[in-house]
Structure 1
Amino acid sequence: MAFKKARGLFIATWLTGAGLTVAGCGPALEQEEPGDEATGSEQQALTEGAPLTAHDASCLKLQDQNTWSTYASYMTGVGPALGLPAILADLNRAGPVLTSTNHPAAVGYKGGFRWNDGDMSTTDWVPQGLTAGVSGSTNVAIVAWHYTLSSPDKGVRISVADISDMSLSAVNYRHILLVRPTSSGNFTTIPEHGGGLAWFGNYLYMADTADGARVFDLTQIREVSTSTTCETAIGKVGTEWCAYGYKYVLPQVSAYVVPSTITSPCRPKFSFLGKDTRGSTDVLLSGEYCNNTGTGCPYDGSTPGLGGRLYRWPVDSTTYRLKTVSGLVAPERAWIMNEPNVQGVAPIMTTTATTSYWLSSTRYSGALFKVSTGASRTAYLSGSGQWARMPEGMHATGSGTNLWTVTEGYSGSTSPASGGRVVFFADQASLD
């Protein structure tokens, strides 16, 4: 927590010193693209299932923390930098592929896998974010898990899974611990929820709930010790580098954070992330989880839970970092989702319109919502056998073929068909 406070102070000082001001947020209409039918302001009542409502996000900026070179230099003493190919050659766990008799019910279901028995039943770790991509000739899924215990807080781990051939009997994978460099040759865990991931180039973006998005470099993975000492330690211990028994660590290289001068209602949560490559510029998607039975979001109107906002952040196609102007990133567009309990987002790749999305929600114990600015939602509900229970992060393949998702598990079930943790993909066209 001390790190967060210090970071916020640094950002506020930097903004003041640079002569920049960040305007406060106020209700206003956003100018929509031609053909968009939905307009609205944050003052109006919201309706569950209504079209995406335009949101004025001109008050919001992200600050590049700019630790790219510093954090990378801190890790040089830990050992040689490894890339994903080295990890894919050292996968140590097998997750059985789902069959016709044990997969969850989902419209357009095509295939998937479950985790090994230990990962299906553990209560210490819970799956959250998901993204996917290609490393060399290997198709890869990456899933984030958050640690549920507080002492010690092991933070977030990711699972790197080879999903190249889903006709095999099992998917091989390995867990890697995410870490933040703290000084030369040392690092610590990242106590976050791991609610969302997005993969651009060599960079893995992870949602930082209160502050923005952290960035990790997939070419900077390090091997650490798996000795008995290291099973209960993090960072450098004597002559060893430890990561609670994990063989590999993936270090943070920088972060994009909301300046401390930006407060509610302008300041959002970063509950989940997604990736959109439909337009001329690649986009990092971020959104807010709002619970319809808990504290409302700033623009919920009279119905708590519906005011979660969805943002588009432009990505530089050359560097794969967010596009900055004087170190600041502005959202390209934003909407209010009119849906509660949203856990993930993916673009509808079967259309070029950048105003349509799938939202993954734990509403109704599990749902997939097809939403846009021009029409009320289409809902695929777990209770009707149309989608899996407790879905989290999602990834839509650029070809418009498959929609991947991960589930966090339902009521302690280890049965894939009735709510156990799974990773699966469905046919995008069947859901469109």
Structure 2
Amino acid sequence: MIRHIRTAARALLAAGLLVTGTPAGASPAAAAAAPTALTASDYTLTSDYHQYDTLDSALATTLGTSAVHTVMEHANHDRQALPASFSVAGLTTGFRFDDGDNSDCQSFPQGITTSRDAVGTANSGNYDGHQLVLVSWYTKDGCGGAQQRSRITLVDWDATYPDTYRKILLVEPTGTAAAPDFKDVPIHAGGVSWYGDHLYVADTGRGMRVFDLRKILNTDTGGTADQIGRRPGGAYYAHNYAYVLPQIGTVTAQTASGAKLVWSSVSLDRVSRSIVMTEYTCQADCVDYPNRPPRAVRFPFAAGATTFAATTTASQALQLPWYNLNGVASHNGRWWFNSSGQKKLYYWTPTAGASTFAWVGGGESLSYWEDATGPDLLWSLQETTGGRNVFAVTQSTYGGG
């Protein structure tokens, strides 16, 4: 995430694109500090998956929907290979966006999830017949401007399409059943988790917004880049996006004690069937984010569902000793935390303790990739303009065992 940090030293530390010195993951340094347990019952969620039912139904009737495979058949951007200069220990695979997205000073990639999150390893991790990597982005109203909207990118990962991706605008339904409309979702989209058909997108000060990938809407192209929503005459424009994904509901967080949670990043843990979240905070000098130790909290899904119950109590809460955290992952009792500001990847289990590994600069969210036939992976990405590498490393390289 792009952060407003006052000191020049911190800015220079966060700017690096590649790991320098000892290769990342080559030799972990023992961490002096480790997470400590907090009272999990202090953290709860309330969920509403039917918040926009009437408007979503009206929009689908008016505009029509497209399945994920149809969207990908019309993918109009080509992903590129990782540059030869990119190096990180345990590197297995990855890609880079096209030149336009790689250098865009208005839009920044943030969260990452995959069809392996959505469906697991069954049927080779295919959703709607295909393996996909999904990345969330936020867009400003100009280079260095105010946050304006957010989107997702669906990226082919089995070369069926081949090697392509498509952008889909995230929107919030508005209007009435007789005249449905939509507007931009101006959130940071710092983390994203795909579980079943549901997409959970972090909303920093609130919790998560929920979307359903079976409900992608078709829109009209040909309008101007700033046009959004229903126009006189009945056309629906979306900044020239051909597809939009409307919000279906909201998952709202409550905190019984301590500061309100800052939902900076989220990730799916398929083993415990939960979403884990973490906060971006600083030791000092943050302008837009808290200057205090961060927390990580685990929230379980309802039994047998890809949704949360109406009210959910956290099953685990941790006080963390690390700062500038942009990514979190958990799997089978193990945790990973990515610090963009420190260029470190922290690994922790309650029994083995904590370890620290060198990591990339500009690093963002993490996603755990289960594999039935090969080593499990950790996916991550960099947001830095000109160096937006999306990559996967063997999780065992980073303490995962």
TM-score in terms of structure 1 length: 0.75
**Partner of residue 290, structure 1:** 281
Pair 1:51-2:13 in alignment: no
**Partner of residue 201, structure 1:** 196
Partner secondary structure for residue 156 of structure 1 = strand
**Partner of residue 110, structure 2:** 128
Contact 1:159 1:175 (8 Å CA) reproduced: yes
**Partner of residue 219, structure 1:** 214
Partner secondary structure for residue 42 of structure 2 = coil
1:285 partner amino acid: V
Change over 3 Å in CA distance of 1:334–1:74 after alignment to 2: farther
Between stretches 387-396 and 366-375, larger displacement belongs to: 366-375
Report deviation, 1:121: 0.8
Contact 2:265 2:327 (8 Å CA) reproduced: yes
**Partner of residue 172, structure 1:** 164
The partner residue of 2:150 within 147, 156, 160 is 156
Structure 2 stretches lacking a partner, 5+ long: 1-29, 116-125
Change over 3 Å in CA distance of 1:331–1:266 after alignment to 2: farther
**Partner of residue 82, structure 1:** 66
Between stretches 392-401 and 243-252, larger displacement belongs to: 392-401
**Partner of residue 355, structure 2:** 378
Pair 1:328-2:303 in alignment: no
Change over 3 Å in CA distance of 1:141–1:208 after alignment to 2: same
Between stretches 84-93 and 70-79, larger displacement belongs to: 70-79
**Partner of residue 270, structure 1:** 263
Question: Residues 174-193 of structure 1 correspond to what in structure 2 (within 5 A)?
Answer: 174-183=166-175, 184=177, 185-193=180-188
Q: Deviations over 1:181-213 (max 9, x none)?
A: 012320000110010000000000000100111
1:425 partner amino acid: A
Change over 3 Å in CA distance of 1:89–1:165 after alignment to 2: closer
Report deviation, 1:396: 0.9
Segments of 4+ moved more than 4 angstroms: 150-153, 295-298
Measure the CA separation in 2 of the matches of 1:429 and 1:155: 36
The partner residue of 1:64 within 38, 47, 53 is 47
Measure the CA separation in 1 of the matches of 2:284 and 2:383: 20
Change over 3 Å in CA distance of 1:113–1:153 after alignment to 2: same
**Partner of residue 228, structure 2:** 234
**Partner of residue 14, structure 2:** none
1:391 partner amino acid: G
Report deviation, 1:230: 4.3
Instruction: Kindly tell me the number of residue pairs found equivalent between the two proteins.
Output: 350
1:379 partner amino acid: T
Report deviation, 1:376: 4.2
Measure the CA separation in 1 of the matches of 2:351 and 2:187: 35
The partner residue of 1:308 within 288, 294, 299 is 294
TM-score in terms of structure 2 length: 0.81
Structure 1 stretches lacking a partner, 5+ long: 1-46, 382-386, 415-419
Q: More strand by proportion, 1 or 2?
A: 2
Between stretches 47-56 and 131-140, larger displacement belongs to: 47-56
Pair 1:107-2:89 in alignment: yes
Change over 3 Å in CA distance of 1:113–1:58 after alignment to 2: same
Q: Deviations over 1:85-126 (max 9, x none)?
A: 111211110121125x23x22110011111111111111101
Q: Deviations over 1:320-367 (max 9, x none)?
A: 111x2xx3221111111211011111124xxx3x2x211111132x22
Measure the CA separation in 2 of the matches of 1:48 and 1:263: 30
Report deviation, 1:222: 0.7
Question: Residues 330-409 of structure 1 correspond to what in structure 2 (within 5 A)?
Answer: 330-348=313-331, 352=332, 354=333, 356-364=334-342, 366-381=343-358, 387-399=359-371, 401-409=376-384
Measure the CA separation in 1 of the matches of 2:55 and 2:355: 44
Change over 3 Å in CA distance of 1:68–1:137 after alignment to 2: same
